[in-house]
Structure formats: C-alpha cells, structure tokens
Amino acid sequence: MENKIYDYLILGAGWGGVSLGALLAKEGKKVCVVEKNDRPCGYGYFKLGEYEFSPNALYIQGCREGWNVYEFIKELGLEKEITFNSLDEDGYDRLILPNFSFNLPIGIENITHKLSSEFPDEDEKIEKFFEIMVKLDDEMDFFEKAPTIMNVLRRPHKNLCTIRYGWMTLQGLFNHLKMSHNLQNAIMGTTLVTDYAPDKLSVLVASAEYIGYASCHYPAKGIGHMIKTVEKFAKENGVTFVYNTEITAISNTIDNSREIQTTSGTFRANKVISNLDPQITYKLLGKDAPRKYHYEYSPSAFLIFLGLTDRKKIMEAGFGKCNYYLTSTDDIHQAIKSMTDGLYDDFAIYIGTPSLVANEGEMSPTGKMGMQIIINGSFEKFNQMTPAEQEKEKERISNKMIDFISKKFNIDLNELVEEKEIWSPVDFSKKANRPYGNIYGRSFSPKTLIFNQLSQETEFDDIFLCGANATITGILGVINGSLILRDKLLKIESEK
C-alpha cells in the first residue's frame, strides 16, 4: 500500500478523468488517476495494424475559438500542439434515406432554410420546430446546468419554453406540430443522435445537439494524439497515472480520507472523483444507490472498423470530411427497432471517416484510410450466445452492412479491406466497462434527464462524479463538466 495521501483520486481515465486531472494538477493539487485499460481514454483510440481508430468520437463539438473545448486546450497552453480541422461546411453529416437525401449545413438558420425548401408545404412547422430548439437551448444552456425540475422551476418566467415543451420526446413534438411522416424522418436524421428512436429522445438533447453542431471539428492529429497530449501535460504537472488497474472497492471515510482497493494495491485520498458508471460507483461503495441512480441505459453499440487501402478510390466514391447516415428504409423508427431487437431486417448506419478529416498520414498511412461504422445492437441477444455463435453473428451483420454501403456508393469495399475488427455490444461492454455496451451511459429520455438527472455532487461530501454521466454526453459536455467541477472543488477548499 502507498503511504501517500493524494488530494484527489480520480477513478477512470476517460475524457472526464484526464481533463479534470490536468486542470487540478495545474492548480498544484496532488492527483492520482487509476484506469483499467492500458492508456488514457481507455478504448477511445486504438491501432489496428497501421490504422488508428477513435471508436467514441467522429467529431468534437466546441472546438471553435470561444467554445469550451478550445478554451480548455488554451488554458493548458496546448493550443499550438492540439489543432483542429473543420469538416465539410457543405454538410458535416449527410443523410441518405431510400427516398430522401439531405446534407446538413452549419447553423440553425441554414438548416431551417434548406429543410423548408425541401418541404415547402410545412415551412411554418419547420420554423416553429427550430424556434423551439433555439429557445430550449437558450433557457437551459444545457452544457452549463442540468435541466432538473428545480432548475426549471427556480425561475419559471425565464423558462417558459422548457415548461411547455422540455418534458416532451422528439416524437411528442413532431405530433404536436402535426409534421408529416417524411418531414419527421428528415428531422430525425438531422438531430445527430441517430441511434435513438424519436419516441425515446428528449427534445432538450436534440436542441443541445443542434446548437453545438456549429462548432464540430476533429483533431488534426487524431483523438489519440489529443488525449495523449493532455495526459502528458497532466503528468508534467505531477499527476500519477496508474494503468492496467481495476478499482474493486471504495472504503468508508477513515481519518478524513478514503481508501481505494484496486488490482494493483491500495490508494488513499482526501477526495474521490469517479469517472466510472455511477451505478457501478455505488456498487464499489457497497451501498444502495439513491432512487435517481436507478436510471435506464442508452442503446447498445455495434461497431465495425475497416482499414481500407485506397483513399483516392474511396474519396471518388463520395467519402470525405463528412459523416454519412444511411438507412435501408424511410422509416427510421422501424430501422432502430429492428437493430435493437438484433434482427437487422432494417437498419440505420452511421459511417465516419475521421482519417479523412485529420491530416493525411496521421491516422492511416498516406494513400490509405480508416472507416468506422456504428449501428445499434442487442446486448441481451449476444450475451446469450456461445463465443462461436457470437463470432458468426458478428460476421453476418458486418457483411450485411458492408454490402449495403458498397451498393449505395457503387464501390466494392470488401476488395479494399486490409484490416477489419468488429465489436458486438458484449465486446464493447468489456472494452468500455459499460454495463450493456451502452453508447452514451444514461438514456436520453425526458424522465432520465429531468427526473433522474445526476449532479457532480453525491450524498457524500468527499465523493464526486465527473464525465458524461454527471453532466451531458460528448467530449464537449465532459470537458465542460470538468471545468465546472474544478471550480466547485477549489471553492469548497477555499471555504474550509
């Protein structure tokens, strides 16, 4: 056991743990970060042969000057080392349904205008829809404060739009505005939370996504370089990182500090900050979690990574500095249901090519490129299969997706595949240490967001939560949460 008592022990080196560790170290605090995987951000970047992939980020919001990711990098003095490339301003995300295509432009005004020209008979509904999105974001400022009942009702006159619409799902709002089925699908495809059925997605998340979208970029040298650079800063400022180490228990408070048991021994700190799944954090404490922690999880991810030999050919087929959302049916609801049930009779595929946004040669050898394919999956179905059955099912699903993309883009992807890796929801669950291989942690339903909203504080005054679960998902939300928590912790110390 180490004799040292750290000021802060951070459990997990995801974006939450690493960014908070760096910020606290800059303030001179003694910080230790313990991580189960062998590197920062766990499964967040990995190499397959010569190709680097970033499973949990195709772009990052908030990278423009004045936005929080950029300001965080600048605060650490890393803005010359970590630079960002913009995606294609003519359409970061491109939606291709069987009977409708749409390149999502930047800025709510442009989206409104473009959708109105596609659906001229419904232009008033479109305008109303985006007016509500902007107002919700203005009122809630989602990245700054949680949309809890208390926050909404504290100043009701300032939250009129939230009181009226904030508890709705996207489907509820579609119905309220009496939008046609085609328009619903088009809007659904533009929300960027494409793995969520509209009847499960809170309008508050949709509004935050639309607003943050204007600032999406990708690091010029890839996500791996970005997180390693932040980790290096933290190390140079005294943070101890302990990798390949699983946290197995958190003790009660003894002599004003807590002991953390891990597979590499015991650590002690005055305060513990958990970047882990909050329900797991309570299990490690050996305590029953309060009711608000009994939330449901977001959908499970099924991921395919392809290292492709011919960058030029792929770009000629239409890929570039943008992501694609392809569906086999115009009914996105049906596509999401079929995938979530593990059938794939219908499906919706999100395709990212971050190696085409990063500088050439950074994430893949010059002339080659990587492709990441994200779909939904059924954790339960895979979990009931034998390992051999799982492998067979992974191949079946992956082949179906690759064939579909090949046909849509008129290119034989199979011919160009040099490296391939497939993660079922069960694989993803193990790699990311998430209970059901869930994409975003807690679900984005109105109930979870408004009634089960977690905060960074817990019932214990020496245990805090950081990361997506305590704030909002996405790297912008997580880094913003670290900036907020750093300020709170310093304030608590100064008041002592």
Residue ranges in contact with ligand FAD by CB under 6 A: 12-16, 34-37, 42, 44, 55-61, 246-247, 275-276, 301, 374, 432-433, 439, 467-468, 473-476, 478
Least gap, CB of 56 to ligand FAD (angstroms): 3
Residue nearer to ligand FAD on the CB measure, 16 or 224: 16
Least gap, CB of 262 to ligand FAD (angstroms): 7
Residue nearer to ligand FAD on the CB measure, 103 or 116: 103
Instruction: Calculate the alpha carbon distances from 244 to 12, 235, 251, 465 in Å.
Output: 11, 17, 21, 21
- Please tell me the distance from the alpha carbon of residue 173 to that of residue 135, in angstroms, as a whole number: 14
Least gap, CB of 74 to ligand FAD (angstroms): 18
Q: Give me 416's structure tokens.
A: 């160009």
Q: Map residue 8 onto helix, strand or coil.
A: strand
Strands 93-97, 46-48: pairing is: unpaired
Beta-strand (E) ranges in 38-192? 46-48, 51-53, 84-86, 93-97, 100-104
Q: What residues have CB less than 8 Å from 384, skipping those under 6 apart?
A: none
Residue nearer to ligand FAD on the CB measure, 308 or 478: 478
Residue nearer to ligand FAD on the CB measure, 56 or 443: 56
- Please tell me the distance from the alpha carbon of residue 375 to that of residue 325, in angstroms, as a whole number: 10
Least gap, CB of 495 to ligand FAD (angstroms): 27
Comparing CA positions, the residue from 467, 28, 423, 39 lying closest to residue 231 is: 39
Least gap, CB of 302 to ligand FAD (angstroms): 9
Residue nearer to ligand FAD on the CB measure, 168 or 201: 201
Residue nearest to ligand FAD (CB): 14
Residue nearer to ligand FAD on the CB measure, 13 or 152: 13
Residue nearer to ligand FAD on the CB measure, 104 or 439: 439
Q: Map residue 321 onto helix, strand or coil.
A: coil
Q: How far is CA 178 from the centre of its chain?
A: 31
Least gap, CB of 32 to ligand FAD (angstroms): 12
- Please tell me the distance from the alpha carbon of residue 438 to that of residue 446, in angstroms, as a whole number: 18
Residue nearer to ligand FAD on the CB measure, 272 or 432: 432
Beta carbons of 245 and 36 less than 8 angstroms apart: yes
Q: Give me 404's structure tokens.
A: 């579909």
Least gap, CB of 266 to ligand FAD (angstroms): 14
As beta bridge partners, residue 101 has 96
Q: What residues have CB less than 8 Å from 106, skipping those under 6 apart?
A: 89, 92, 213, 214
